[in-house]
Structure 1
Amino acid sequence: MDFSWAKEQVEIKESVIQFAKNLLIENLVELDQQEEFNLEGWKKCGKWGIMGLPIPQEYGGKELDPLTTIYALEGLGYGCKDNGLLFSIAAHTWACEIPLLTFGTPEQKLKYLPKLVKGELIGAHAVTEPEAGSDVYSLQTTAQREGDKYILNGSKMFVTNGAIVSALRSNIASPLRSNIANLILVFATLNPERGKRGITCFLVEKDSPGLIVKRKISKMGLRTAQMARGNASY
């Protein structure tokens, strides 16, 4: 059996390495010191197609298979020194795009995936809570149905992409001008008595009433990846 990479796979990885080395090199020290999100780097990755590597072409992605996608992202990690940006892209792709692609309705996919792929929307994944980290099944955020809507109540923390600071400081007109990810996957329980079987996920847009980012969380590493804690009552 031949386990070597195909010529096309090697070419994709090399192109990603060159893209990262040439275009993702600006202001890295300053961004890290100020704990700022690399908005310009994010835009460049969106334009190149990084966020759409595993997403079908019908939504604007490159539709690469999982192994080729990982190989290409390995190249991104080799060429880009901004580990926080890489972490933010990983959270956006694997914890927001892929669940939406796998479990979303056709309408939800058409509404959100093309903009997520282009980087025009920033995705986040809110599951961790003050009392539910590794033991995620202990989460206490609740979802109660009222008519055709659900009311969510709870608190989340360590939400990657939860607070996009530099977007507020930028004068560039962009759909990314927000202090929070544009689309958040929020996990909540419909019935605490059912344990893990009572947990489901909700797509929450950044302007939803009652969604509050309380503070950005400073870290020892991955400083350009914006993590936040917030409350939800909506």
Structure 2
Amino acid sequence: MSTSNPAAIIVFRHAHDLPTDTQAAELKKYNDEHPNDKRGESYYYIQEAKTYNLPDPAQGSVTLPWQRLSPDGFNEAQNIAADLPSWISQHWAPVNLVITKDPRSKDQTQNPFQTVIPSADALKASNKVEVQLKDDPGFNKANLISDGHSALICWDRQGLWQDEGDPAGTYILQSLAKANPLPGNITRPHKAGTFYVFTNPDTHGKYDISQYNYNHGQGFVKVA
């Protein structure tokens, strides 16, 4: 492949999910007042299955058992899909691989998939895009951009970033970065608002990391 832009791995956290702030406050109030009759599932899920066609028709479709993004989250996913292709084309090689959490089980979250699939559809306009579904953040990260194309990863916070008190394990940001621990100017991911870019791999498959804050009105602003 011939391109003037370097390949990169671009990683971000999913969009906002249910319950909304209003629902969360209502739910807490109700549960506090009715400790033996707590409300639950219907506040955290849209009880409706949904099928998505993947960008490459040869991959078929994926059916979600229910949906978890909030109305704001669905809007955020569409906004990212509108802004991401041009940002990538200005700085990095085209994306041909999208990796996200497998959403087909109720034991997994559907948020990353529903966040990234509009972007995968938008990116296919300039390149064939394969979507890979993974069960956990320990997936093999070797050779993700070895063919000169870029890769896009969307995941949940629990698999991206190790908070204080979290168990030892594989976290995507730490597993990709050359620096361990992460540099002090790299901050915790916000939903649909923090993008990490990994470039310049070494012989061990580790990368330089940079961070961009994203806002639909302002675009992607480098902060680290």
Please classify the TM superposition score into its range, dividing by the shorter chain length: under 0.3
- TM-score, structure 2 as length reference: 0.27
More helix by share: 1
**How does the TM-score come out when normalised to structure 1?**
0.26
